A and B are shown apart, each in its own frame.
Chain A
Amino acid sequence: MPIITAQDISCQRGNFLLFKPVSFSLDFGQSLLISGPNGIGKTTVLESIAGLRGLQQGRLSFKDQDLSKFKDDWFENSLYIGHKTGNKKELSCLENLRSFLQIQGIEVSETQAEDALESVGLAGYEYQMAGSLSAGQKKRLALARLLLVKFSVWILDEPFVNLDVSGCDWLLGILDNHIKNKGILIITAHDNKTIKEKVTSELILESVGL
């Protein structure tokens, strides 16, 4: 029995279905790339899977539990990083990283957070305000959360955007590691040649048509 199953799910904007209903299932160690043209609803479907919004139709379940009713277990096992990084510009990198996770009930020591910042390439920026970082650095700061949570499901919306070459390589390595360690990955990515080779399945969203 797969851990995550989606049956005929679709999302709507206004009164229109965004894409033809899709189904997929994922087990530990599997990964899914969601692709499709701009505006088809990749972000919307990821937000629905993450639990930020409801589904227009279909059923999504985690460990055989319907996600529209039982979300706690899902929230305790999944991490979503979207387009908005969730960083506060008046907080330092260290404070951002720790407070974001503490609000979710995850305690992170200062040394753990410092180590995570170091591995995302933000060593020396620990006490710098997040508002003064570049777009790529802000993304790195958000991605540092991946290193500090022990969640099995990662849901990432365009994580490669704004990252430089070394950042992309680093992220690919992390994702690889996660899948090897029996993690689950659901991802969207525009420049998807490299990531396409890494994932175990791909889901292409198609428009409903008129």
Chain B
Amino acid sequence: MKPFLALVKRDLTLGLRRKSQIYQPLVFQLLVVTMFPLALGSGAKTLALIAPAVIWILALLASLLTLDQIFKNDYDDGSVESYVLTSYPLPMSVMAKVLAHWLLSGLPLVLFSPIIGVLLHLPASSYGILMLSLLIGTPMFSFMGSIGSALTMSLKHGGLLLTILVMPLLTPVLIFGASAVVESSLGNSASQPLLLLSGLLILSITLIPFAAAAAIKINLE
């Protein structure tokens, strides 16, 4: 088995056994979204208006819950050495870690988003665009998170620092992702923000593994 696949398989096995990485973000989303109608106290119209922004912000916050775990566990138990002390390129291993993290906590957010949409009265015509935008956007949460996690993995409580580091980098994702859903809920074409979002994803795939690999090396010094 290729090292890449071995790492993905190991992380998926771990994630499915721990489970918290999968259900925590979903439960968090569900809890927060039920607060909105209660606090706003107004009808479906207001909810539908804010739905795109709320869903995207919730997805961002929910994924922040698990980002620090990408490298922290491996650093704490020493298994980070298994992919640093090898001739297999570290950026590829970072890619494997990101892929596994997204499959465990990003993909469930995408699949769960229609339920959040229903709770916020999102127009039925926007569900496709909502899921598509999250499908392109959530991998970037994992990618950016890999840099943040690599930089903070040796800290005991690096969660807040990671959020401060990663959040500003994710604003473009939030802007284009939410605006895609807004456009489609207004009945306009969402192709422009979606294309920009895809461009950002390609940029992330090509550049971030190298940045995260460098961050891991710095942290081991």
Contact = CB atoms under 8 A, between A and B. Distances in A.
A100 B1 CA distance: 12
Interface stretch (A30-38, A70-78, A170-178, A198-206): A70-78
A162 B77 CA distance: 16
A90 B17 contact: yes
Q: Tell me what chain A mostly uses at the interface: helix, strand, loop, or mixed.
A: loop
B77 A88 contact: yes
Contacts of A54: 221
B6 A50 contact: no
B87 to A, nearest CB: 4
Contact of B83 (A72, A80, A90, A104): A104
B7 A84 contact: no
Contacts of B29: none
A47 B81 CA distance: 10
B78 interface: yes
Contacts of B17: 90
Report the interface size class on chain B: 20 to 34
Contacts of A86: 77-79, 81-82
Contacts of A100: 79, 82
A39 interface: no
Contacts of B221: 53-54
Contacts of A51: 84-85
Interface string B81-94: 11111111000010
B96 to A, nearest CB: 9
A88 B6 CA distance: 14
A86 B6 CA distance: 15
B87 A72 contact: yes
Interface string A77-106: 010101111111111000100011011110
Given A72-B87, A86-B79, A87-B77, A102 B13 contact: no
Contacts of B6: 99, 102-103
Contact of B13 (A75, A80, A84, A95): A95
A76 B87 CA distance: 7
Contact of A105 (B3, B13, B81, B84): B3
Contacts of A102: 1, 3, 6, 10
A80 B81 contact: yes
A102 B17 CA distance: 20
A82 B81 contact: yes
A91 B13 contact: yes
Contact of A85 (B18, B78, B88): B78
Interface string A53-67: 110000000000000
B1 A52 contact: no
B207 interface: no
A86 B79 CA distance: 4
A156 to B, nearest CB: 13
Given A72-B87, A103-B93, 13 more contacts: A52-B81, A71-B87, A75-B86, A75-B87, A80-B81, A86-B78, A87-B78, A90-B13, A91-B13, A103-B82, A103-B88, A105-B2, A107-B1
Interface of A: 47, 50-54, 71-73, 75-76, 78, 80, 82-91, 95, 99-100, 102-105, 107
24 contacts: A47-B220, A50-B85, A51-B84, A54-B221, A71-B87, A76-B87, A82-B78, A84-B76, A84-B81, A85-B78, A86-B77, A87-B77, A89-B77, A90-B13, A90-B14, A99-B9, A100-B79, A102-B6, A103-B7, A103-B10, A103-B88, A104-B3, A104-B88, A105-B2
Interface of B: 1-3, 6-7, 9-10, 13-14, 17-18, 73, 76-79, 81-88, 93, 220-221
